[in-house]
Structure 1
Amino acid sequence: MNLVVLIGRLTRDPELKFGQSGKAYSRFSLAVDRPFSKGEADFINCVAFGKTAELIGEYLRKGKKVAINGRLQMNRYEVNGEKKTTYDVLVETMEFIEARGESSQTNDFNPAPSYSAPKAVEQAPKEDFGGSSFDEDEFPF
């Protein structure tokens, strides 16, 4: 399972761009505090696509605190004969942690509305399993 959950602050304003197909994407970096090292942080590169990217590009700025849920992706490439490896978190959902106008100095957890990118889900027809009732909402997966 590849699951990444991060809470941190944007290190710079996000870049909102559009690919050749017209699909939006946004690149940004989060400073995530290390739990047992005061004053130390990890800087995590993140990428969002579609409506999530548009939302990030419109509402987030340097210093804003957000929570993201996504997956880790490794990228390998070669520059001047030297092999390079980078890691990005592909954002699937994003949640505002600070309300609009809140100071970046406050540490209170005050969740604001969250946004999850819509996913296309194909619904399978419900089947009769020998007379027992089967409800898809009963299962958490």
Structure 2
Amino acid sequence: MINRTVLVGRLTKDPNLRYTPNGVAVANFTIAVNRPFTNQQGDQEADFVNCVIWRAPAENLAKYMTKGSLIGVDGRIQTRNFEGQDGKTVFVTEVLAGSVQFLESKNKSSASNQKQESPSDTNPLEGHGEPIDISDDDLPF
């Protein structure tokens, strides 16, 4: 059986770093992951995924990443439940992160909070030579 999750998204708020009574670091965080399609109005929607990470990686995440930072998460889905204050059982599904990759520098993430360019706003080939003439038969896919 396989339970592996790989996500790339932006932190929706600063990670919440806490420590267990035994001094073990744990950070809870949520990332917004864009869906690979648009809705009927042409807007791109996102899923908001709750995650948790433990020990030194939790401390590093809280130290170096803030709201809006682009990160990669590699982990697994876990479910748990507990009794809420009203006595009802609360079910939680979250990603237990084994590792988190910082996909941009701290300076870039703060700049992206101010203005995010969509890929259609920029042309990565602009100013880089002439268009090429290639037949569909020459493409490897």
TM-score normalised by length of structure 2: 0.71
Q: How does 1:1-141 map to 2 (within 5 A)?
A: 1-37=2-38, 38-79=43-84, 80-102=86-108, 103-104=111-112, 105=116
Q: Per the alignment, do residues 75 and 54 of structure 1 end up closer, same or farther by CA in structure 2, a change over 3 Å counting?
A: same
Q: How many positions carry a matched residue from both structures?
A: 108
Q: Contact 2:37–2:44 at 8 Å: present in 1 too?
A: no
Q: Which runs of 4+ in 1 moved over 4 A?
A: none
Letter in 2 for 1:99: S
More helix per residue: 2
Name whichever of 94-103 and 12-21 sits farther off. 94-103
CA distance in 2, matches of 1:28, 1:40: 19
Unpaired runs of at least 5, structure 2: 120-141
RMSD value over aligned CA atoms?
A: 1.6
Residue aligning to 1:112: none
CA distance in 2, matches of 1:65, 1:93: 14
User: C-alpha distance in 2, partners of 1:22/1:65?
Assistant: 28
Give ranges in structure 1 of 5+ residues lacking alignment.
109-141
CA 1:107 to 1:64, structure 2 compared with 1: closer, same or farther past 3 Å? farther
Identity percentage of aligned residues? 38
SS at match of 1:45: strand
Shift of 1:98: 1.3
1:107, distance to aligned residue in structure 2 (A): 6.5
- For residues 81 and 61 of structure 1, the distance between their equivalents in structure 2, rounded to whole angstroms, comes to 35
**Partner SS, residue 86 of structure 1:** strand
